[in-house]
Amino acid sequence: MFDASRMTTTTRWWTMVLWAITASAAAADLPVEKAVVTAPPNVSPVITRTTPARVVVELEVIEKVGQLADGVEYSFWTYGGTVPGGFVRVRQGDTVELHLANHPDNKLPHNIDLHAVTGPGGGAASTFTAPGHKTRFTFKALNPGLYIYHCATAPVGMHIANGMYGLIYVQPIKPLPPVDHEFYVVQGDFYTDAPFGVKGHQAFSMQRAIDEHPSYVVFNGSALSMVGDRALQAKVGERIRLFVGNGGPNLVSSFHVIGEIFDTVYFEGGQHSQTDVQTTLIPAGGSAIVEFKLDTNGTYLLVDHSILRTFNKGSLAMLKVDGEQVHDIYSGKELDEIYLGDESVASALKKGSEPQPAKPTAVGAGADGKAIFESNCAMCHQAAGQGLEAVFPPLAKADYLMERAKSADRSELVGLILNGKTGALTVNGIEYNGVMTPVAGLTDEDIAAVLSFVTSNWGNAGAPPFTVDEVKKARASVTAKVP
Ligand code: HEC
Ligand SMILES: [Cu+2]
């Protein structure tokens, strides 16, 4: 057995010299490998290596125009052409050689500050890079965890606000247990002169940024990044891990997935975890790793639960989960009937009469359609279907709705309720560009009733009522279209 106390001073000295030589030889001899850097929402593969390596990470800064929302263009500054920049994974104890290239077509100098770095500025000063130049520095990944990286070139706030951030994961020596899917999601706030939704190219507003008054709050650089065809995909029974970051520059995220509970959260991207969490706080320049199992099917929504940001500024993404509905976990709507409250029962009894059966109140399609409208649609389209200026289109006297309701194939309207709707549309000559989230838990009867109701009230007329059979067929065809 090795016992240091029994060594003479000389032997001890020689042993130390030998250790020093072996250690530096080891650093030079480390196997060299190139990091796999992935674009969002993809996460680079788990590192299976069990010894340290010298990992070469190559990032290129690209200034480019992209979509902030449907029809809204913005000049992003990016690492690798995406917001967030590429996902980088190294292993705890690795030596990381960071190469930063600034594309010759770019207009500005940039650099990188990685929160995974121990050393002044996180690498910022060492990587200050003019357009058409490249720089390099090396650091040792001492601490495991999920770290933000970002540009720190003045004005720092502007470089971050334009999309210059991403995540680097320093995989711990003992990796997290395997899951079925890992996804990469980063929230960011954006500041344009014009308010949310105004079309065309929008310029950065320094004043709004200083006031911390964003016009857009989005995941992965766009209100459209993970909705519709671009939704994250998984299946019932699978286990999901989200690597979530918040680039800021200003807002703190109350990260939540509507319809799920996080089984595990590695809060702040560190090594400790908490279980059974509804919403986790992610500071600007911070992160969290969240995990959950998918127990039943449906569309789950990733949101910032500062909820006006979600429904009015774009912080919404979708996770589509295919497979069986597991009824003992989630039944769907089991009951919806007229409720008059204790008051009316009491007053009816006082009068000495039997409680009166509820009177159907709706015109046209009967009571059901109205009740379903009130509990599922009215919060957005408003009580009399009049809509909300610039946000929710009207259903009352709506050409969009009535043209389709009078056409031969009305499956599009059923699809709209089941799958939601994004992208621009025009109602009575006014363009809307919002997000209608899928309306969950409605049966074929419910959908027939609500569509019959909205197409035969508030001045809408001339469309035949929707039948349950028609809805059933439409459901099969619109669901089949989703891959
Ligand atoms: C979360 C808010 C919200 C809810 C709830 C909602 N909608 Fe919508 N709906 C919208 C938005 C926003 C649009 C426009 C989407 C776009 O521009 O891409 C829209 C569009 C529509 C349209 C097409 C445009 C028009 O005005 O004719 C119809 C029809 C419609 N919704 C019907 C319904 C019905 C029926 C329900 C209830 C079963 C419902 N919506 C629930 C927000 C909502
Ligand atoms: Cu920059």
Using one digit for the tens of pLDDT, what is the confidence trace for 435-470? 777 777 788 998 999 999 999 999 999 999 999 999
User: Which of the ligands is closest to the CA of residue 372?
Assistant: 1
What's the pTM value of the predicted model, to 2 decimals?
A: 0.67
The verdict on residue 335 lying in a domain is no
Q: How many residues are there in the chain?
A: 483
Tell me how far the alpha carbon of residue 393 lies from the centroid of ligand 1, in angstroms.
7
Tell me how far the alpha carbon of residue 420 lies from the centroid of ligand 1, in angstroms.
8
Compute CA distances 210 → 193, 277, 299, 300, 371, whole Å. Answer: 13, 33, 36, 34, 45
The verdict on residue 12 lying in a domain is no
Ligand 1 binding pocket includes 303 (Cβ within 6 Å): no
Tell me how far the alpha carbon of residue 414 lies from the centroid of ligand 1, in angstroms.
11
pLDDT at 183: 98
Clarify whether residues 383 and 470 are in a common domain: yes
Tell me how far the alpha carbon of residue 328 lies from the centroid of ligand 1, in angstroms.
30
Percent of the chain with pLDDT over 90: 75
| Burial zone of 28 (CB within 10 Å; 0-12 exposed, 13-18 middle, 19+ buried) | exposed
What does the longest C-alpha to C-alpha distance in the chain come to? 108
Considering 305, 322, 339, which residue would you say is the last residue of a domain? Answer: 322
The verdict on residue 162 lying in a domain is yes
Ligand 1 binding pocket includes 433 (Cβ within 6 Å): yes
The verdict on residue 169 lying in a domain is yes
Ligand 1 binding pocket includes 432 (Cβ within 6 Å): yes
Alpha carbon dihedral 276, 277, 278, 280, in 10-degree steps, equals -170
Tell me how far the alpha carbon of residue 162 lies from the centroid of ligand 2, in angstroms.
8
Ligand 1 atom nearest the C-alpha of 422 is 18
Rounded Cα gap, residues 214 and 205, in angstroms: 9
- Using an 8 Å Cβ cutoff, are 222 and 84 in contact? no
Clarify whether residues 278 and 367 are in a common domain: no
What are the respective helix, strand and coil percentages of the chain, to the nearest 5?
25, 30, 45
User: Which of the ligands is closest to the CA of residue 163?
Assistant: 2
Clarify whether residues 298 and 358 are in a common domain: no
Tell me how far the alpha carbon of residue 257 lies from the centroid of ligand 1, in angstroms.
21
Tell me how far the alpha carbon of residue 241 lies from the centroid of ligand 2, in angstroms.
29
- Using an 8 Å Cβ cutoff, are 293 and 263 in contact? yes
CATH of the domain at 364: 1.10.760.10
> Which residues lie at CB < 5 A from ion ligand 2?
110, 151, 153, 159, 164
Cis, peptide link before residue 438, omega less than 30° from 0: no
Residue identifier of the C-alpha nearest atom 41 of ligand 1: 377
Clarify whether residues 308 and 425 are in a common domain: no
- Using an 8 Å Cβ cutoff, are 83 and 63 in contact? no
Tell me how far the alpha carbon of residue 111 lies from the centroid of ligand 1, in angstroms.
44
Cis, peptide link before residue 178, omega less than 30° from 0: no
Ligand 1 binding pocket includes 434 (Cβ within 6 Å): yes
Residue identifier of the C-alpha nearest atom 2 of ligand 1: 380
Clarify whether residues 205 and 77 are in a common domain: yes
Q: Which of 386, 388, 436 has most ligand 1 atoms within 8 Å of its beta carbon, as the pocket-test mutant?
A: 436
User: Which of the ligands is closest to the CA of residue 113?
Assistant: 2
pLDDT at 225: 95
Clarify whether residues 284 and 359 are in a common domain: no
User: Which of the ligands is closest to the CA of residue 85?
Assistant: 2
Clarify whether residues 287 and 405 are in a common domain: no
| Burial zone of 165 (CB within 10 Å; 0-12 exposed, 13-18 middle, 19+ buried) | buried
The verdict on residue 22 lying in a domain is no
The verdict on residue 28 lying in a domain is no
Ligand 1 binding pocket includes 370 (Cβ within 6 Å): no
Ligand 1 binding pocket includes 395 (Cβ within 6 Å): yes
Q: Based on the structure, what is the number of domains in the chain? A: 2
Q: Which of 70, 262, 79, 57 is nearest to 179 (CA)?
A: 262
Clarify whether residues 229 and 358 are in a common domain: no
Residue identifier of the C-alpha nearest atom 40 of ligand 1: 377
Q: Containing domain of residue 100, as a range?
A: 33-322
Tell me how far the alpha carbon of residue 188 lies from the centroid of ligand 2, in angstroms.
15
pLDDT at 390: 75
Compute CA distances 425 → 131, 394, 401, 432, 482, whole Å. Answer: 41, 12, 11, 5, 21
Clarify whether residues 363 and 317 are in a common domain: no
pLDDT at 15: 45
**Over the chain, what is the mean pLDDT?**
88
Q: Which of 382, 407, 421 has most ligand 1 atoms within 8 Å of its beta carbon, as the pocket-test mutant?
A: 421
pLDDT at 63: 96
User: Which of the ligands is closest to the CA of residue 228?
Assistant: 1
Residue identifier of the C-alpha nearest atom 19 of ligand 1: 436
The verdict on residue 26 lying in a domain is no
Ligand 1 binding pocket includes 390 (Cβ within 6 Å): no
CATH of the domain at 122: 2.60.40.420
Residue identifier of the C-alpha nearest atom 10 of ligand 1: 436
The verdict on residue 24 lying in a domain is no
Clarify whether residues 53 and 106 are in a common domain: yes
Clarify whether residues 318 and 369 are in a common domain: no
pLDDT at 221: 98
Clarify whether residues 204 and 276 are in a common domain: yes
Ligand 1 binding pocket includes 417 (Cβ within 6 Å): yes
The residues, ordered by sequence, that sit 6+ positions from 409 with a Cβ below 8 Å of its Cβ are: none
Q: Extract the residue ranges of the chain whose pLDDT is less than 70.
A: 1-28, 342-367, 479-483
Ligand 1 binding pocket includes 377 (Cβ within 6 Å): yes
Ligand 1 atom nearest the C-alpha of 376 is 37
